[in-house]
Structure 1
Amino acid sequence: MRSARSVPLLATLLLLGLVLTPATARSAPAAPTPVAANGQLKVCGTKLCNQQGKTIQLRGMSTHGLQWYSQCVTNGSLNALATDWKADVLRASMYIQEDGYETDPRRFTDLVHSAIERATARGMYVIVDWHMLDPGDPHHNLARAKTFFSEITQRHRDKNNLLYEIANEPSGVSWSRIKSYAEQLIPVIRAKDPDTPILVGTRAWSSLGVSEGADESEVVGNPVNAANIMYTFHFYAYSHRDEYLRTLARAADRIPVFVTEFGTQNYAGEGANDFAMSQRYLDLLAAKKISWVNWNFSDDHRSGAVFKQGTCAGNGPWTGTSSLKPAGVWIRDRVSTPDDF
């Protein structure tokens, strides 16, 4: 005979699928989550590899700035991202300026902690995005970055599903200046977390220098003095045309690259969608096994936000396509394409 206390416990276990009923016993086993399938990631040569050393390509979404759109990062929205969209990775985007981290370090660090825990619970990888944007010199925020990443690595160093993006979009500074920043911050991270891949922003808003008249050769010829790192590339398909695409193609054969942000619109994440150019980029990324993250998982009024305005305030619906803008419908289809793990 069950005790009175055992009944709600049994109901809870049934809800979570932790007790086999005749129906669940006959059902096919659930597919492993991205993290369960791949474990601790590492950089091998010019590629991102799983714990078995197999080259993989992660696909997922970036939040908008957590200071503005944390209401879009909920249990419901992340359930949909993990199970309906079948995303591999969430990028937690924490602006430093623009009413972000510098205004309340405790609050914004806790928002990142929360995003990490929620994504981890759903078996996704998490990019911790130190979203420096303006000013464009990452040294402006070096002391803050050391404080922030010291706490993040202390708390989460035993997890196997993180990546650290240490400078979102440097601009107006030389590659040597960005490299100097990375070589001062990386040892702080490595002191507590020796294994997590680190993503280094590149010159000219992470365009490998193209938006300021350079190209990938400055990084290829003068790489950051650190192991287990990748370099970031960002593109917005309506604005960033063939020169950017060719640069990315060349760079990916020489250095490890991760596309941590892209959109199907112009460089401001707004205006018309150019799905044809976007698909050219995604075809290249698939061919070269370059991981990517789309901007952005919010209901901002711009066309680059995947949800229609009011979706987050109304708490969904998160699944399906009824709440999605055209860019959201397009990118959901490409995030959820069956993986090759």
Structure 2
Amino acid sequence: MKKQIKVTLIVIVAAIIAAAIIWYVMYLRGKEQDLLTPVGTRAEFIGDTDKYPTMLTAKGTQILNADGEQVVLKGVMVPESRSLYEEKKFNEDFYKDVFAKGGNAIRVPISPVEYKNDDYYMWRYLDRIVTWAGENDNYVILDWDYTGNPIDGSGDEMPDLDENPLDYSAEFWKNIADYFKNTPNVIFEIYNEPVGMSDSEWKRCAESLIGVIRDAGAKQLIIVGSPDYCYDLGWLDELGVKNDNTAFSVHVYPDKVFWQKFLSGYVTSYPLIVTEWGYADDDIEVKNEKLKGTRNVFGIKFTRYLEKHDIGWIAVGYDDTVEPSMFTKGYKKLTKWGEYVTELLGDKEE
């Protein structure tokens, strides 16, 4: 009998210890777990938006705020939200570090796969990012991160989804625009990199997605990409989107050796934003050799051109995995490219 009581006591004590350990672990991870809890499936963004940067408007080749002052967007592309969470870095402190680097905008890539797999993606991640950015006087470019043909779904980088890309993009933008339609610091980038279609086909796709956003009541700035991985601006000559408050994006990396020639015909006619650019210097290895470049040969020349024409830009990326990375593995230190971006933004911590 005494032996049985002893065994019972041991089991009870073990259970108490196990419960205490579980509670302690949950306590330590409390903040992280809270981030996985949806903030609520409300119909519209709620925040103190009067304190956020004002809505931007494209006029001529310039982008203006509500006071009619020119705003040149400068900032970095942050990691995709779900992947950042998996690294245990999706929290306000991470984004405060980003904002502390300087600049006035961040670009947030939204994976169609992650969005599809998480019914609460908008509330779980985007709502928080927009709030943190607004409170730190930053704009947020919401980038729908498809790369390929939106009509037939072709392209080596297209996600493995059953949905037709154009139809799914329309569904996405209907939800996003309806939710953020009264949030002044949000900018909509309708499609990351169109590939494998004619200019006229892309124009029809772009105008249909713009129409979805406007029909939802959202009046904010819309960024429209271009064919050939968001590089060929030639479609604007005769087929450019005729719509209020749109700007046009271009992506430039060191392999685009004739970038100045390609841009020169459009900088005086359209509001342009470089929503991706960067290079990988000799201090890091990259899988994509097309990204290899240096500050002197590519970086300085490109940034001087952008400054001359007041063209906004987003650097890729505030990350330790996406190429070209601003950080070495584990965010231990800045790469040469990261150091250059930090200099350009004027680190607020310095």
Superposed CA RMSD in Å reads 2.6
Map of 1:308 onto structure 2: 328
Question: Is the alpha carbon distance of 1:56 and 1:37 closer, same or farther for their aligned partners in structure 2, counting shifts above 3 Å?
Answer: farther
Q: What displacement does 1:104 show?
A: 3.6
State the TM-score, normalized to the length of structure 2. Answer: 0.73
Question: Is the alpha carbon distance of 1:267 and 1:160 closer, same or farther for their aligned partners in structure 2, counting shifts above 3 Å?
Answer: farther
The reply to whether residue 191 of structure 1 matches residue 206 of structure 2 is no
Q: What displacement does 1:194 show?
A: 3.9
- Whose Rg is larger? 2
* 2:147 counterpart SS class: coil
Q: What displacement does 1:281 show?
A: 1.2
The reply to whether residue 287 of structure 1 matches residue 304 of structure 2 is no
- Structure 2 residue aligned with 1:222, among 239, 253, 264? 239
**120-129 vs 50-59, which moves further:** 50-59
Question: Is the alpha carbon distance of 1:61 and 1:175 closer, same or farther for their aligned partners in structure 2, counting shifts above 3 Å?
Answer: same
- Structure 1 residue aligned with 2:173, among 131, 140, 149? 149
The reply to whether residue 110 of structure 1 matches residue 127 of structure 2 is no
| 1:123 partner letter | D
CA distance in 1 between counterparts of 2:125 and 2:62 reads 30
Q: What displacement does 1:245 show?
A: 1.9
The reply to whether residue 94 of structure 1 matches residue 88 of structure 2 is no
**1:230 touches 1:257 (CA, 8 Å); kept in 2?**
yes
Render the CA deviation track for 1:100-127: whole Å, top value 9, x for unaligned: 3344454366322332222122221000
* 2:184 counterpart SS class: coil
* 1:123 counterpart SS class: coil
**1:239 touches 1:267 (CA, 8 Å); kept in 2?**
no
Question: Is the alpha carbon distance of 1:269 and 1:49 closer, same or farther for their aligned partners in structure 2, counting shifts above 3 Å?
Answer: farther
Question: Is the alpha carbon distance of 1:184 and 1:147 closer, same or farther for their aligned partners in structure 2, counting shifts above 3 Å?
Answer: same
Map of 1:323 onto structure 2: 333
**2:177 touches 2:217 (CA, 8 Å); kept in 1?**
yes
CA distance in 2 between counterparts of 1:221 and 1:144 reads 28
CA distance in 1 between counterparts of 2:121 and 2:52 reads 33
**49-58 vs 135-144, which moves further:** 135-144
- Structure 1 residue aligned with 2:69, among 54, 60, 63? 54
For structure 2, list consecutive stretches of 5 or more residues without a partner in the other structure. Answer: 1-49, 154-163, 281-285
CA distance in 2 between counterparts of 1:37 and 1:49 reads 15
Map of 2:29 onto structure 1: none
CA distance in 2 between counterparts of 1:165 and 1:269 reads 27
CA distance in 1 between counterparts of 2:70 and 2:318 reads 26
Render the CA deviation track for 1:44-99: whole Å, top value 9, x for unaligned: 111211222222211101123334334444312211222x3122001110122xx5
**2:177 touches 2:216 (CA, 8 Å); kept in 1?**
yes
**2:255 touches 2:290 (CA, 8 Å); kept in 1?**
no
Map of 1:212 onto structure 2: none
Question: Is the alpha carbon distance of 1:136 and 1:144 closer, same or farther for their aligned partners in structure 2, counting shifts above 3 Å?
Answer: closer
Map of 1:231 onto structure 2: 248
**Count of aligned pairs:** 281
Question: Is the alpha carbon distance of 1:192 and 1:136 closer, same or farther for their aligned partners in structure 2, counting shifts above 3 Å?
Answer: closer
* 2:174 counterpart SS class: helix
Question: Is the alpha carbon distance of 1:73 and 1:251 closer, same or farther for their aligned partners in structure 2, counting shifts above 3 Å?
Answer: farther
For structure 1, list consecutive stretches of 5 or more residues without a partner in the other structure. Answer: 1-34, 210-215, 312-321
CA distance in 1 between counterparts of 2:310 and 2:289 reads 24
* 1:43 counterpart SS class: strand
CA distance in 2 between counterparts of 1:296 and 1:289 reads 21
CA distance in 2 between counterparts of 1:264 and 1:43 reads 29
Map of 2:265 onto structure 1: 250
- Structure 1 residue aligned with 2:295, among 271, 275, 280? 275
Q: What displacement does 1:292 show?
A: 0.5
**160-169 vs 183-192, which moves further:** 183-192
- Structure 2 residue aligned with 1:128, among 131, 142, 146? 142
Question: Is the alpha carbon distance of 1:300 and 1:126 closer, same or farther for their aligned partners in structure 2, counting shifts above 3 Å?
Answer: same
**1:41 touches 1:50 (CA, 8 Å); kept in 2?**
yes
Render the CA deviation track for 1:185-212: whole Å, top value 9, x for unaligned: 11211123342010011010000x2xxx
Question: Is the alpha carbon distance of 1:223 and 1:267 closer, same or farther for their aligned partners in structure 2, counting shifts above 3 Å?
Answer: farther
* 1:56 counterpart SS class: coil
**1:61 touches 1:296 (CA, 8 Å); kept in 2?**
yes
In the TM superposition, 1:167-182 aligns within 5 A as 167-182=191-206
Render the CA deviation track for 1:304-339: whole Å, top value 9, x for unaligned: 11122123xxxxxxxxxx62122111111102279x
The reply to whether residue 158 of structure 1 matches residue 189 of structure 2 is no
**2:57 touches 2:220 (CA, 8 Å); kept in 1?**
yes
Map of 1:4 onto structure 2: none
CA distance in 1 between counterparts of 2:67 and 2:93 reads 32
**2:224 touches 2:249 (CA, 8 Å); kept in 1?**
yes
Q: What displacement does 1:301 show?
A: 6.9
Q: What displacement does 1:279 show?
A: 1.6
Question: Is the alpha carbon distance of 1:253 and 1:268 closer, same or farther for their aligned partners in structure 2, counting shifts above 3 Å?
Answer: farther
Question: Is the alpha carbon distance of 1:220 and 1:337 closer, same or farther for their aligned partners in structure 2, counting shifts above 3 Å?
Answer: farther
| 1:274 partner letter | T
CA distance in 2 between counterparts of 1:332 and 1:150 reads 35
